Structure 1
């Protein structure tokens, strides 16, 4: 049987960070994806990503990106928005 401390130490040696940091990173990745790809409420995203409290999600997004979750969503969607054809004249028919 392996103790909790031994498991944590081995995990950290293998991955380069603690199990707690890994869980946080995965939760944050889920939240970022939900913010970018859905219109879910921030509270719902916090719950689905495993943060439990919306304040923890807000803090995590601010720490990583320097903005609120809503601002992150707006920026992310702006960066990933499909480019539209801005041609003012219709294509010639031939």
Structure 2
């Protein structure tokens, strides 16, 4: 199953840090998110793009996880020549992860 089958996502950025939220469509799937979508798995999924630490924050009241990815945007908006300098496509890439 793909993560997108049970959740949706939003991204944000600040400098060279990307923030990705993963929100369960149905609260009954939140325990599965907790089990399958770990910081380690997200770091592995983005191993070619994210060169720093990945921290996961749990938000059980809203059935969501928030991931902060350090050294993730090739220097950030003002320093990167990358096509996706804000990292907005990271949410789509994460939703393609197998769980």
Q: TM-score, normalised by structure 1?
A: 0.31
Whichever structure has more helix as a proportion of its residues is 1
State the structure with more CA Rg: 1
Q: TM-score, normalised by structure 2?
A: 0.30
